[in-house]
Structure 1
Amino acid sequence: MTNAEPSAAALDAYRGVLPYIADWVAYKVWQLRVPGVQVAVGYQGEVVWSAAYGYADVEAGRRLTEHDLFRIASHSKTFTATALMLLAERGQLRLDDTVGTYVPALVDAGSPIADATVRELMEHGAGVLRDGLDGDYWSLARPFPDEDELLALVLDQGSKVPVGSSFNYSNLGYSLLGMVVAAVSGRPYNDYVREEIIEPLGLRDTGPDWDPTRADDFVVGYTGFHVDRTRSRLPHVDTRAMASATGFHGTAEDLVRYFSAHVIGQGELLSDHAKRQAQRRAWTAEDDPASRGYGMGFIVDRVAGHDVRGHSGGFPGHITQSLFDPTSSLVISVMTNAAAGPATLLAQGILRLLDAAADTAAPGDALSDAPDDVDVDTLTGRFANPWGVADIARIGDRLLEIDPSAPGPLDSVTRLTVTGPDTVRMSSGNRFGSVDEDIRYTRDDDGTVTAIRAGGGMSMTPWAVPGDESPAVAAGLA
């Protein structure tokens, strides 16, 4: 964050923009008809914001809370990688040991995967088939594989390219790594990650697989709008031998605490040396060397000027996304309980808004230079007319007009200059709009804004996300 304030001032800027972020997320949940969304933001090791929108169970009318449990799917890989780094730091394995050392069935079958190193498997560089020739367990057409079935999937044409030749994301590969953790530690994989990662970090709402004893705490997952205009419920299932690749459950708050422990200089679980090893880009997913890539259990990406780490997760009825800046300590986690849920869109939008708030060198006129007789907060709000919706929002020391219906909050903004108690100038932005014209406010006798006359001279009136809509309609179930 080259233009961001030092940490204390950045935290103040983050706190100042969080009310607008909460409104933006609420609009996206309503616009996209997502059953439920859980969000948390962390900074310097602390959770600074946590919120829940919509429903954990739409049909039952159960509102979502910050402590309801989501299936976090491929976030599981970061826990598996953390377990392996712990074992390596404790001298119980070397990352360059071969996988066959700990999974002798691969050696016995003559699989080339036996000669891959633990490191190569962690980096998805071992050439392992993604999910097997029969991956219909992902569609819940059959149970997830047990250990014998997993090995059968791996050995049935499971080596698709030579070891070390390219990046090939593989759930089977990370399932094998769960077997490595168990073999090295002498404990079942689920027990090891609970005892060595989850409990030391105090993650009370996190676990390595479906937990029937907490069934009432889990959200219901729903289908997407791929081939239907309404959503349907999906059941929870045990992922069995694939827990180390995709089984975990958790909350946005717990994931913020967990990833905060992976920030350089924070947490006591791993050394900074181990963190840097795991978070270093080993491969890119596309030909562009600057594209999104992978380290050891962590996705490596660049978003809004940040080099970020983290992971996404896709499970039947659940899409999740967490990202963190390993140097600034900013952490964002978003949970959604629908197929194709907008978790990545929301997480990246939140990051961009936080960044913009903390950027003291952002373009546009500073609100600190506004006329003394103007209360800037009375100029903000959400307004609508038949042509669209516009948010006038305070983002750091700037006033912006934002289209909340756009995919990202800063995709197309107009920068505003405060010129008086009831006027702001559209000072810069897309000149197909109304740049260099004024937005004029109309108020009632007590000063409440009743309308604005905005782009094209058209009136817009205050608007809020409907609160009386039926849960089924709001969530796309009717």
Structure 2
Amino acid sequence: MRPVAGSALLPLVAVALLAGCGGAGEPTPSSSLERGIDAVFADLDRPGSPGAAVSVIRDGEIVHSRGYGYAQIEHGVPVTPRTVFHVASVSKQFTAMAVTMLAAEGALSLDDRVQTHLGFVPEFEHPVTVRQMIHHTSGIRDQWQLLGISGWRLDDVITTEHILGLMSRQRELNFVPGSEYLYSNMGYTLLAGTAAAVSGMSFPEFTAARIFRPLGMNRTHFHDDHEHIVPDRAYSYRPVSTAEEGGEEGGGGRMGAEYTKAVLSYANAGATSLFTTADDLARWLDNFRHETVGGPEVMEMMTTRGVLNSEDTIAYAHGLSIGDHRGLRTVGHGGADAGFRAQATWYPEANVGVVVLTNVSNGNPGGRARQVAEVVLDEVFPEAEPEEGEDPSPPAADSVPSPAPDPATPAAYAGSYYSPELDALYHLQATDEGLVARHIRHGDIALEPRARDEFATDRWFMREVRFERTPDGSVAAMRVGGGRVRNLLFIKLTRPLPR
């Protein structure tokens, strides 16, 4: 079946027609490329399916650009090369680019303390620098997890003001800055604020003027107004047939019956919220070759990996992860918000860029981008073979036996707990089923004992709960964490909060 919508570019078609004068039945390189890439998206190439857009750029020319499936299932709008997607954390490289350009121009230093440009950020025990926020080594807690613990849902309207207000209340870090790598979306929201403060322009205006327009990325913008109408945009979906996002899709049925809308109402930019097309992102990737925007100094800085206090080098550069595929260096980033999934990868030695954007939560753009790259690299380096044992999927987590449950009774932990850093309140109650944390928006959260004073939950924002005691053994506080937030303090109240 041919793709639902979209088209390969004319140069590719022209080459195919010219080559078609050769031997009958002999596949040309361009037709082979087209068929190979189409096969990667065959599962999305059907009525009623969310879709994907793919763009491949090689030596400055877009050699494949096509859409598959639907951008808006309920309206029957197909994905085309002009479809605009939210690309989530793929946004971060543009935020880093903005700050890196300003640093190269002398408008700021990457070793400036964050408070130099953003006075509302609290003073922590250890200073945090712009460079550490770029490399995710700042220790600043993640905004999404903090919002989740506070009671927000990620389909709420979340503005920059909400996030920065939360940041202004923080009093602790996850760790000593520079000592570890731990991904922090909050750091990138602060970097966007830094670029705006230093440039005197709004962050969307600065990136449009200095990056997008010079590169001809005319369908790209940072989307910090959730009410703004965007022509040709995709909406995002989740499969309803499985509980796991990576599970197989269900069977047929009426259009859209397999999927549900995944709502995205973000009104903040920096860590996320870039709206763009696959072709525009391909043009950006090619800037790593021609360096028109930023120049050699900035583009070299963009791919410079972070260094910890221990002098160990990490894989994360300036909003980009440095890796390898088939023995070739890769520069890229993925993204995931609501049902949107994205991957943009540049292969410097091959002058090849691959972009895959999807609007379904199990779209697997990282795996698909690698498959597309295999097809393209087979033409560039036909003798190259995949690396032995290469597997694009992450390794399975080791099985860790659960420690003995806490012998203390649930009643010992009952009470109300308040976080000054979040202005959030949880009521812990002992029930017949065990200890439960109750929140006005999240409802009941079961706390499963793991060890003395240590519990676990099934909520993504609150994986671990640990209680602290006074010298006489009374429970005085709980620390919440897991993932990108550690040791967030909730004080056990001895009297109701004044309101």
TM-score above 0.5: yes
The SS at the match of 1:310 is strand
The SS at the match of 2:147 is coil
Deviations 1:366-410 (A, max 9, x none): xxxxxxxxxxxxxxxxxxxxxxxxxxxxxxxxxxxxxxxxx98xx
The SS at the match of 1:217 is coil
CA contact (8 A) 2:330 2:346 kept: yes
Backbone CA RMSD of aligned residues: 2.9
The SS at the match of 1:215 is coil
Residue 65 (structure 2) pairs with residue 50 (structure 1):
yes
Between the two structures, name the one with larger relative contact order (CA 8 Å, sep ≥ 6).
1
Q: What is the match of residue 119 of structure 1?
A: 131
Change (3 A) 1:123 1:138: farther
Change (3 A) 1:138 1:34: farther
Q: What is the match of residue 182 of structure 2?
A: 168
Counterpart Cα distance in 2 of 1:362 and 1:192: 42
Q: Please, which of 136, 147, 157 is the counterpart of residue 134 of structure 1?
A: 147
The SS at the match of 2:230 is helix
Q: What is the match of residue 444 of structure 1?
A: none
1:269 positional shift:
0.7
One-letter code aligned to 1:310: G
1:326 positional shift:
2.6
Matches within 5 A, 1:256-275: 256-263=282-289, 266-275=290-299
Matches within 5 A, 1:108-257: 109-112=122-125, 115-131=127-143, 132-135=145-148, 139-147=153-161, 149-153=163-167, 155-156=169-170, 159-209=173-223, 212-225=227-240, 226-227=242-243, 230-240=258-268, 243-257=269-283
User: After the TM superposition, which of the residue ranges 135-144 and 41-50 deviates more from structure 2?
Assistant: 135-144
Deviations 1:112-150 (A, max 9, x none): 47x222111101110111224223798534221433542
Counterpart Cα distance in 2 of 1:85 and 1:17: 40
CA contact (8 A) 1:300 1:309 kept: yes
CA contact (8 A) 1:133 1:156 kept: no
Q: Please, which of 345, 355, 369 is the counterpart of residue 333 of structure 1?
A: 355
The SS at the match of 1:320 is strand
Counterpart Cα distance in 2 of 1:45 and 1:199: 17
Q: TM-score, normalised by structure 1?
A: 0.66
Residue 115 (structure 2) pairs with residue 100 (structure 1):
yes
1:293 positional shift:
2.3
The SS at the match of 1:296 is coil
Q: What is the match of residue 366 of structure 1?
A: none
Q: What is the match of residue 367 of structure 1?
A: none
1:270 positional shift:
1.3
Counterpart Cα distance in 1 of 2:330 and 2:376: 14
Q: What is the match of residue 281 of structure 1?
A: 305
Counterpart Cα distance in 2 of 1:347 and 1:221: 19
1:317 positional shift:
1.5
CA contact (8 A) 2:335 2:341 kept: yes
Counterpart Cα distance in 2 of 1:216 and 1:176: 29
One-letter code aligned to 1:276: E
The SS at the match of 1:135 is helix
Change (3 A) 1:269 1:211: farther
CA contact (8 A) 2:226 2:265 kept: no
Residue 36 (structure 2) pairs with residue 21 (structure 1):
yes
Change (3 A) 1:302 1:31: farther
1:320 positional shift:
0.5
Deviations 1:433-465 (A, max 9, x none): xxxxxxxxxxxxxxxxxxxxxxxxxxxxxxxxx
Change (3 A) 1:235 1:271: same
Q: List runs of 5+ in structure 1 lacking aligned partners.
A: 1-11, 364-406, 409-478
User: After the TM superposition, which of the residue ranges 223-232 and 188-197 deviates more from structure 2?
Assistant: 223-232
Counterpart Cα distance in 2 of 1:139 and 1:15: 46
Counterpart Cα distance in 1 of 2:361 and 2:336: 8
Q: TM-score, normalised by structure 2?
A: 0.63
How many residues are aligned here?
343
Counterpart Cα distance in 1 of 2:282 and 2:261: 28
Q: What is the match of residue 15 of structure 2?
A: none
Counterpart Cα distance in 1 of 2:285 and 2:152: 27
Deviations 1:300-354 (A, max 9, x none): 1112222111111111110000000134320000000011312111101111122
1:239 positional shift:
2.6
Counterpart Cα distance in 1 of 2:200 and 2:137: 26
Q: List runs of 5+ in structure 2 lacking aligned partners.
A: 1-18, 20-27, 245-249, 251-257, 386-390, 393-499
Identity of aligned residues (%): 27
CA contact (8 A) 1:320 1:343 kept: yes
One-letter code aligned to 1:116: V
Q: What is the match of residue 89 of structure 1?
A: 104
Counterpart Cα distance in 2 of 1:338 and 1:261: 28
One-letter code aligned to 1:227: A
CA contact (8 A) 1:299 1:309 kept: yes
1:267 positional shift:
3.0
CA contact (8 A) 1:14 1:358 kept: no
The SS at the match of 1:333 is strand
The SS at the match of 2:74 is coil
The SS at the match of 2:64 is strand
One-letter code aligned to 1:100: Q
Counterpart Cα distance in 2 of 1:69 and 1:104: 35
Change (3 A) 1:237 1:170: same
Residue 375 (structure 2) pairs with residue 353 (structure 1):
yes
1:22 positional shift:
3.1
Counterpart Cα distance in 1 of 2:72 and 2:317: 36
CA contact (8 A) 1:278 1:296 kept: yes
Q: What is the match of residue 325 of structure 2?
A: 303
1:32 positional shift:
13
CA contact (8 A) 1:125 1:168 kept: yes
Counterpart Cα distance in 1 of 2:278 and 2:181: 29
CA contact (8 A) 1:129 1:154 kept: no
Counterpart Cα distance in 2 of 1:58 and 1:31: 11
The SS at the match of 1:94 is coil
Change (3 A) 1:32 1:14: farther
Greater fraction helix: 1
The SS at the match of 2:158 is coil
One-letter code aligned to 1:245: A
Q: What is the match of residue 67 of structure 1?
A: 82
Counterpart Cα distance in 2 of 1:171 and 1:149: 10
Change (3 A) 1:59 1:141: closer
